[in-house]
Amino acid sequence: MGSPVLSFEGEIDILTAPQLRRALRDGVSAARAELRVDMAGVRSFGSAGVVALIEASKVAQATEVAIRVSPCSAAVQRVLAVTRLEQAFGVT
């Protein structure tokens, strides 16, 4: 059985981050070793999305689950690069 995959599209901002946060929390709970997060369809990625990923990462580390953001859009990659979080989420 492969890793679970969550897919997101559109804008991730202060209004939509709570949905991202819930989905990531549920995804981490369901994952055994890795959770893949497909953000190829994300057009805009705000700081609230970054915070949601970091919060989920802390929970994932406590349960020994890796979160991998792959694939991701240019918008997501740009934000993760500026915040120096690319490596933390497996973005290449």
In this structure, what are the phi and psi dihedrals at residue 9, rounded to the nearest 5 degrees? -140, 165
CATH number for the domain formed by residue range(s) 5-89: 3.30.750.24
The DSSP 8-state label assigned to residue 33 in this structure reads S
pTM of the model: 0.90
Q: Scanning the structure block, which residue is given the tokens 């897919």? A: 7
Q: Where exactly are the structural domains of the chain?
A: 5-89
pLDDT at 92: 66
* Segment 3-30, tens digit of pLDDT: 899 999 999 999 999 999 999 999 999 9
pLDDT at 1: 57
Tokens representing 77?
A: 């990659």
3 within 8 A of 29, measured Cβ to Cβ: no
pLDDT at 52: 96
In this structure, what are the phi and psi dihedrals at residue 23, rounded to the nearest 5 degrees? -65, -40
pLDDT at 71: 94
* Segment 38-84, tens digit of pLDDT: 999 999 999 999 999 999 999 999 999 999 999 999 999 999 999 99
pLDDT at 74: 96
Reported as half-sphere exposure (CB side, CA atoms, 13 A), residue 81 has a value of 8
